[in-house]
Chain A
Amino acid sequence: MSILVYTENWDGKFKKTSFELVSYATKLAEILNTTATVLSIGQVDPVELEKLGKYGAKKVINATNENFKILDNQVYTNAIAEVADKEGAEVIILSNNNTGKALAPRLSVKLKAGIGSGVSKLPISTKPFIVYKKAYSGNAFATIQIKSEKKILTLAQNSFEPIATSSAIDIENLSLQIDGSVIKTKVLEVKKQTGKVLLTDAEVVVSGGRGMKSPDNWSPLVEFAELLGAATACSRPVSDEGWRPNEEHTGQTGKIIAPNLYIAIGISGATQHLAGISSSKYIVAINTDKDAPIFEAANYGIVGDALKVLPELISAVKEIKS
């Protein structure tokens, strides 16, 4: 029995999410009195692989094959399942990001392993195996028992702080045999988001709503976000109107996020919006309507016009930075 944790790489690099996963797996291994093995798929530099050791990984399996260039859900699922079997893994952990959401369910069927999806903390108990997760889009939490012998957990991003420790790391290179004929997906075009903090990775998010009045008013919000190293987001009406791209839409039917700080500017806070942001550690609301529901969810608030308040906030951030 052991734990297998899949850490994705981005152009050969790991991100904070990867280290969160390794730390989580290491902690869970301690509780289960076993060891955690990390699986990396695709071309990653040994120097980068060694970084995983700083978060408790003792063994990393570095699986490479030409066919890993495209993220084909079936190829990746088969690869993870093969390594899980080889390692005798009882618990398999992935991120609850787009890739994890694509692979974990396929893996679940392949290994007949029940899923605890989007868990935000360690299991409440391991015998029986009970996990804690969001339900009703953040309006509630559920405790779920995973009854199958093998278990899959997907860890919500930014919910488990990476724990720096140091351990000697053993890198095992594994060349997997892959049947390329199963690949049905062909990639025509890739558009990478560069130079910007990803909304789902972000520790700070600055989000705008209809109170911004027009898409032409966004530049101070973007400047404020850049100064804070934050990602930009928006409410549903704003993306529906096409003021901002769909992938910025935060809320029940858009992105569900859990940053350390969420700053809602000109957002009234409909139930569906709050559902998507309620796991944020701190929420700030800036709105002209003092009765707006967003203030019930907020830790800090300013009743005022977003367009007047933003320049003040920008100069205040510049001041503390200088």
Chain B
Amino acid sequence: MKILVCISNVPDTTTKVKFIDSNTKLDETGIQWVINPWDELSLTRALELKDDTSNGIQSVTVAHVGGAGSEPTIRKALAIGADNAIRINAEPGDAYFVAAQLSEAIKSEPFDIVFCGIESSDHNGSTVGGMLAEFLGWPSISAVSSVQLKDGQAVINREIDGGKETVTVPTPFVAIVQKGIAKEPRIAAMRGIMMARSKPIKVIEPNSVEPLTELVGYELPQPRAACKFVDPDNAKQLIDLLKNEAKVI
């Protein structure tokens, strides 16, 4: 069995974002680029599944849609333990464009399990995984918090609105994962970093796909009014303010 993990290249999650070009573009000055946190957890889980040889996982591949500038992030994924990588050489226009490109790459090479993070920390769309599954005509399991393999199919825990479910699904499928999928992201060791240099990154040229959406601009949130402090010895006053001033309780 082969696993594919889709990765997105995002600003480090502690970044204080700023915009340039009349608020249409992220100011990339000083930004540290990282693997999208949920994708990093997916990769960790994929590698854990591969480590257990009884699962019979032959390889873990990462796929990314982006220009050559995102190769350091792909190398990080290889250093963490992915066997090889696919980069679709295009600016990620919108989620539809990205999912369409990924689906073409998957059709040309057989994978059994595809992992996608539930969202990317920059666009917060929660859309690529589901779109990809629909392009492929595969089942998608969303809000996944654990994946085990058993007798050639997956046993998955997913969150539903109002509870949790344990489901089974045969391969191939797309798992759209959230927190819980792996305890902590795996960290690259020195040996992994050395080995990553010689692991293959296959570069594919994109198919012609028209994005369905387009960014118009960004804005920063309005700053909140200064905090009103309540004396800890008179904590009851807080309840009074919440009831009579904010009117939220």
A residues near B, CB below 8 A?
A: 8, 10, 71-74, 77, 96-99, 101-110, 112-118, 130, 133-148, 184-193, 198, 200, 203-204, 228, 239-240, 246-247, 249, 252-254, 256, 260-261, 270-272, 275, 278, 281-285, 295-305, 308-309, 312-313, 315-317, 319-320
Contacts and interface: CB of A to CB of B under 8 A. Distances in A.
B216 interface: yes
Contacts of B229: 300-303
What are the 10 A-B residue pairs with the smallest beta carbon separation, nearest first?
A: A105-B130, A304-B232, A114-B212, A102-B142, A312-B235, A109-B134, A316-B236, A316-B239, A192-B163, A106-B134
Given A140-B19, A320-B243, A302 B232 contact: yes
A142 to B, nearest CB: 5
Interface in B86-135: 94-96, 99, 118, 121-131, 133-135
A144 B37 contact: no
Contact of B99 (A97, A109, A317): A109
A143 B145 contact: no
> What is the predominant secondary structure among interface residues of chain B facing chain A?
mixed
Given A105-B131, A137-B13, A296-B227, A188 B215 contact: no
B152 interface: no
Contact of B161 (A72, A115, A189, A198): A198
A312 B139 contact: no
B213 A145 contact: yes
B162 interface: yes
A117 B17 contact: no
20 contacts: A10-B161, A10-B162, A102-B140, A102-B143, A105-B134, A137-B122, A140-B221, A188-B155, A190-B163, A190-B165, A253-B121, A261-B249, A272-B14, A278-B221, A281-B248, A299-B228, A300-B241, A313-B238, A316-B239, A320-B239
Contacts of B128: 105
Contacts of B131: 105-106, 108-109
Contacts of A130: 216
B141 interface: yes
Interface of B: 11, 13-17, 19, 37-38, 94-96, 99, 118, 121-131, 133-135, 139-143, 145, 155, 159-170, 173, 176, 179-180, 183-184, 211-221, 224-225, 227-232, 235-236, 238-243, 246, 248-249
Nearest to B231: A302
A138 B135 contact: no
Contacts of B163: 190-193
B36 to A, nearest CB: 10
A193 B159 CA distance: 11
Contact of A101 (B19, B126, B218, B236): B126
A115 B166 CA distance: 29
A114 B94 contact: yes
B137 to A, nearest CB: 8
Contacts of B239: 313, 316-317, 320
Contacts of B15: 136, 139, 271
Contacts of B166: 187-190
Contact of A300 (B139, B160, B162, B230): B230
B143 A101 contact: yes
Contacts of B145: 246
Contacts of A304: 232, 235
A184 B169 CA distance: 6
A246 B122 contact: no
A141 B221 contact: yes
A190 B230 CA distance: 44
A108 B131 CA distance: 7
Contacts of B134: 77, 105-110
Nearest to A77: B134
B184 to A, nearest CB: 8
B14 A108 contact: no
Given A106-B133, A108-B212, A115 B13 contact: no
A284 B167 CA distance: 39
B126 A105 contact: yes
A252 B218 contact: no
Nearest to B124: A134
Contact of B37 (A99, A118, A252, A317): A252
B43 to A, nearest CB: 15
Contacts of B139: 72-74, 184-185
B127 A105 contact: yes
A154 to B, nearest CB: 8
A147 B235 contact: no
Nearest to A146: B213
Nearest to B38: A253
A246 B180 contact: yes
A301 B11 CA distance: 31
Contact of A145 (B122, B124, B214): B214
A139 B224 contact: no
B235 A98 contact: no
